[in-house]
Amino acid sequence: MLTLEWESEGLQTVGIVVIICASLKLLHLLGLIDFSEDSVEDELEMATVRHRPEALELLEAQSKFTKKELQILYRGFKNECPSGVVNEETFKEIYSQFFPQGDSTTYAHFLFNAFDTDHNGAVSFEDFIKGLSILLRGTVQEKLNWAFNLYDINKDGYITKEEMLYIMKAIYDMMGKCTYPVLKEDAPRQHVETFFQKMDKNKDGVVTIDEFIESCQKDENIMRSMQLFENVI
C-alpha cells in the first residue's frame, strides 16, 4: 500500500521536475534568462570603416578638376557617406533613386565595378574622382576606354556577345515595364546584334578595344554626344 502511494507521488514529483526544467529552458529560449556567457561579444558592433582621402593638392594634380570643384564634390560626398566610402548596396540604392520606374540594380552593379578600379568592394572618394574626371574632363579616347571597361565585365580585354547582352539587358531593365512602344523580349538581343554589326570589324564575335575605339570615332553621332556631359559639374 505505502509503496504504491510513494510510487505515484514519486512519479508525480519526477513529472514536476521535468516540467520545471522545460519551462526554464523555454524562458532561456525567449531570452529572458542567460545561462551562457557568449552573448557579450555579439553586442559589440564592428567598427565602421573610415576612409580619409588623399590631400587636396594631390587629387587636384591627379584629376582634371579645380580645387573649388573638388571641394564642392567632397562636401557632397562626405555628407552622404560620412564614413568616406560607398559600398555596393548604398551605390545601388542611390542609383535606383534616379530610375524609379525600372530596376537598376544590375546596371548599378556593373557601374560599381567600373568605378571600383582597385576592386576592394568600396568606392572611395579617389575612385569617385578618378571616374568623374575621365567622364567629364577626359579626352574622347579616355572616355571610350572607360566605356569599354564598363562593358567588359570580366576585364579580359574583349567584349563578348554574352557580356554585351548582360549589359544591354541591364540597361533595358532600367526602363521598366511601361514603355512606348512596348518592350519586346528580344529587344536587347537585337540591340546587341546591331552593336556587333557596327563594332565588330573582323566578325570574330568579340570586340576588342581598338575595334571599339575605331568604330566609335567613325560614328558621328557618338562623337557629337561626347560633348554632352561636359558641364555637368
* E strand spans, 56-160: 85-87, 122-124, 158-160
Cell numbers describing residue 233? 559639374
- Does residue 191 touch another protein according to CB under 8 A? yes
Q: Which is nearer to another protein, 12 or 101 (CB)?
A: 12
Q: How far is the CB of 79 from another protein (least distance, A)?
A: 7
Cell numbers describing residue 177? 515595364
- Does residue 85 touch another protein according to CB under 8 A? no
* Residue of 195, 200, 206, 208 interacting with another protein (CB under 8 A): 195
Cell numbers describing residue 50? 573610415
The count of residues in the chain is 233
Cell numbers describing residue 215? 568604330
DSSP H/E element including 7: helix 2-29
Q: Which is nearer to another protein, 120 or 225 (CB)?
A: 225
Three-state secondary-structure class, residue 159: strand
Cell numbers describing residue 5? 502511494
- Does residue 94 touch another protein according to CB under 8 A? yes
List the beta bridge partners of residue 85: 124
- Does residue 171 touch another protein according to CB under 8 A? yes
Q: Which stretch binds another protein (CB under 8 A): 24-32, 35-43, 55-63, 220-228?
A: 220-228
Per the CB < 8 A criterion, the answer to whether 65 and 56 are in contact is no
Show contacts with another protein in window 123-162 (CB under 8 A).
128, 131-132, 135-136, 143-144, 146-147, 150-151
Separation of CA 54 from chain center: 23
- For another protein, the binding residues (CB under 8 A) are 8-9, 12-13, 15-16, 68-69, 71-73, 75-77, 79-80, 94-95, 97-98, 111, 114, 128, 131-132, 135-136, 143-144, 146-147, 150-151, 167-168, 171, 191, 194-195, 199, 212, 216, 221-222, 224-226, 228-233
